[in-house]
Amino acid sequence: MRAISPREHTVSVAPAYDLQRSADAFPEGYDRHYWHQARQRLVLDALRRHGASRVLDIGCGPGAYVRALRAAGFDADGCDPGHAGVPILAPGHVFTGRGLEQMDGRRLADVDTALLLDVIEHLPDPAPFLADVRRRLPRLRLLIVTVPARPELWSALDRAAGHHRRYTRASLRAALGEAGFAVRELTYAFRLLYLPALAFTGMPRRRQRSSSSGQ
pTM more than 0.95: no
Is 92 part of a structural domain of the chain?
Answer: yes
Q: How many CA atoms lie within 13 A of 156 on its CB side?
A: 5
pLDDT (0 to 100) of residue 29? 84
With respect to residue 207, please indicate whether it lies within any of the assigned structural domains: no
What does the pLDDT read at residue 12?
Answer: 64
> Is residue 119 within 8 Å of 58, Cβ to Cβ?
yes
pLDDT confidence of residue 5: 33
Does 212 reside within a domain?
A: no
**CATH number, domain with residue 169:** 3.40.50.150
Residue 214 belongs to a domain? no
Q: Where are the beta strands (DSSP E) in the chain?
A: 54-58, 75-80, 94-96, 113-117, 142-146
DSSP state of 103: S
Distances (CA, A) of 75 to 53, 72, 136, 149: 6, 9, 18, 29
- Please check whether residue 204 lies inside any domain of the structure: no
Q: What are phi and psi of 136, to 5 degrees?
A: -80, -15
Of 130, 124, 134, nearest to 175 by C-alpha is: 130
* Residues ≥6 apart with Cβ < 8 Å to 181: 130, 134, 143
Based on the structure, what is the number of domains in the chain? 1
- The reported pLDDT for the residue numbered 209 is 46
Average pLDDT per block of 10 residues along the chain, 215 residues long: 38 64 76 91 96 96 95 96 83 93 93 97 94 96 96 91 94 94 90 78 54 41
Q: Are 128 and 11 in contact (CB under 8 A)?
A: yes
* Residues of the domain holding 120: 6-190
Residue 205 within any structural domain of the chain: no
122 sits in which H/E element:
none
Task: Indicate left, alpha or beta for 59 from its phi (over 0: left) and psi (-120 to 50: alpha).
Answer: left
Q: Does residue 55 form part of some domain?
A: yes
Q: Does residue 11 lie within any of the structural domains?
A: yes
Query: Any idea what DSSP says for residue 183?
Result: P
**pLDDT in the model for residue 42:** 95
